[in-house]
Amino acid sequence: MLEDTLVRNQHSDDVHILHLEGKTVLLIGTAHISQESVDLVRQVITLENPDTVCLELDDKRYKVLMEKKRWQALDLKEVIKNKQLSTLMINMLMASYQKKLGSQLGVTPGAELLAAAETADRHGIPIALCDRDVRITLRRTWKSTSFFKKGYLFAALLGSLFDRTEVSEEKLAELRQKDVLAELMDEMGDTLPDVKRVLIDERDIYLAEKIRTTPGGKIVAVVGAGHISGIIKHLQTDNSSLMEEISTIPPVSRTFKFVGWAIPLVIIGSLVTIGFQKGASVAGANLLYWILANGIPSAAGAVLAMAHPFTTIGAFAAAPITSLTPVIGAGYVTAFIQVMVCPPVVREFETVAEDMLHFACWWKNKLLRVFLVFILTGLGSAIGTWIGGVEIVKNLMS
């Protein structure tokens, strides 16, 4: 595979023209918040009139970008039932981070992908969506990250939202030439190598393979600048054998399953043993301690989230039970109750990326309040499990 530098000179340096297997690929590296990138993709697609335009989008993100009423199709209750609320939250945090930077540049995040799609449609050029399903990407990211690093990732994303430091003109100029997600991953790369591997490196392979197998003699591919070097590297080889592996969500590890079931078995076993050794009244007192130790912190989390009273009651009732099973956590139960009794309206879905940037709005926006309920009641339940479990085991040993 050779790069045709003669043709490349007709366009910006952000356009890389590659020849492979009888086809020509024009690889455009964009910044997702750059007006220059918007103008560039329109220009290249119009002048080159390719057989196909590849976009760094999956089907879900494409619909989000193209449909103005996209939030009306989101069933939040179904998201919670499928235990994907954390995935949705991380996705929205990243979108909000891009929106924050995009607002300083005067460009909507993803504008260049939308421009590419509209230009292709105007010229009757087929579109190929070449990115991995965002849900798989985020769930693989979550599964590949340790418990403590999950907290670091979440804190880093929140910190980036609430950081009010003005971006310098030099930094803004640099961001116009870079992929924002790649910029964020560069900053976290040393601390969160597994996150970078899933979000950037695996997607480089996926994007390259999809571009390589897209039909047509001339392909224009619009991707974030942070993926360019990786895609060029992987376009030179057949990585079809890796696609199934990087397109599936890894199963829960045996260690995690063991720990998840071991904790409730220890608690239940301890209560039963206390009953046999010290009598039903002592066992009952320890059971009551377990209920209060779990229920009170979880309910306190609901109060801090300014949840509906029914949600707070649900938090107190659910935490002692959910703490004894790894199947579902208190956060998911309370989030579901909160959605049932205080459902977010469409307007709040549409403004969530902006509302995430303002601390007070996490309590005003009903969708963000669901996230707060999910986080704070789950945290309260985890604290209660630790306090209650330690006390019960200590009573068993005494």
At residue 8, the pLDDT reads 44
Do 218 and 292 share a domain, yes or no? no
Q: Are 295 and 319 in contact (CB under 8 A)?
A: yes
Whether 226 is in a domain gets the answer: yes
- Which of these three, 191, 219, 246, is where a domain ends? 246
Q: Give the residue carrying structure tokens 């208190």.
A: 330
User: CA 37, CA 29: separation in Å to the nearest integer?
Assistant: 8
Whether 81 is in a domain gets the answer: no
Do 188 and 94 share a domain, yes or no? yes
Do 182 and 261 share a domain, yes or no? no
What domain count does the chain have? 2
Query: Which tokens is 44 given?
Result: 């290249």
Whether 79 is in a domain gets the answer: no
Whether 77 is in a domain gets the answer: no
User: DSSP characters for 67-109?
Assistant: -TTGGGG--HHHHHHTT-HHHHHHHHHHHHHHHHHHHHHT--T
CA 365 to chain centre: 20
User: CA 398, CA 392: separation in Å to the nearest integer?
Assistant: 10
Which residues does the chain have with pLDDT short of 70? 1-11, 32-33, 67-75, 94-109, 147-192, 346
Do 103 and 226 share a domain, yes or no? yes
Do 45 and 110 share a domain, yes or no? yes
> Strand order of the sheet with strand 52-55?
2-3, 15-20, 23-30, 218-224, 52-55, 127-129
Do 393 and 300 share a domain, yes or no? yes
Whether 78 is in a domain gets the answer: no
Do 288 and 202 share a domain, yes or no? no
Q: Are 276 and 302 in contact (CB under 8 A)?
A: no
User: CA 330, CA 294: separation in Å to the nearest integer?
Assistant: 10
Query: Strand 23-30 to strand 52-55: parallel, antiparallel, or no bridges (unpaired)?
Result: unpaired
User: CA 349, CA 96: separation in Å to the nearest integer?
Assistant: 12
User: CA 126, CA 52: separation in Å to the nearest integer?
Assistant: 5
Do 241 and 269 share a domain, yes or no? no
Quote the strand ranges of 170-234, DSSP E: 218-224
- Residue 3: strand, helix, or coil: strand
User: CA 228, CA 231: separation in Å to the nearest integer?
Assistant: 5
- Which of these three, 194, 226, 246, is where a domain ends? 246
Scanning 106-133, the segments in alpha helix (DSSP H) are 111-122
Q: What is the DSSP letter of 218?
A: E
Run of H or E including 294: helix 280-304
Whether 57 is in a domain gets the answer: yes
- Which of these three, 246, 276, 310, is where a domain ends? 246
Q: Which residues of 358-377 are buried (b: 16+ CB within 10 A; e: fewer)?
A: eeebbeebbbbbbbbbbbbb
pLDDT in tens, 71-114: 555 667 877 887 777 777 777 776 666 666 555 555 566 788 88
User: CA 180, CA 331: separation in Å to the nearest integer?
Assistant: 31
Do 170 and 241 share a domain, yes or no? yes
Q: What is the DSSP letter of 12?
A: -
Q: In which domain, by residue range, is 345 found?
A: 254-397
At residue 5, the pLDDT reads 39
- Residue 222: strand, helix, or coil: strand
Do 149 and 286 share a domain, yes or no? no
User: CA 330, CA 131: separation in Å to the nearest integer?
Assistant: 34
Do 205 and 284 share a domain, yes or no? no
Whether 82 is in a domain gets the answer: no
Do 273 and 234 share a domain, yes or no? no
Q: What is the pTM of this model?
A: 0.71
Whether 76 is in a domain gets the answer: no
Quote the strand ranges of the chain, DSSP E: 2-3, 15-20, 23-30, 52-55, 127-129, 218-224
User: CA 198, CA 188: separation in Å to the nearest integer?
Assistant: 13
Query: Which tokens is 211 given?
Result: 């571009």
At residue 197, the pLDDT reads 83
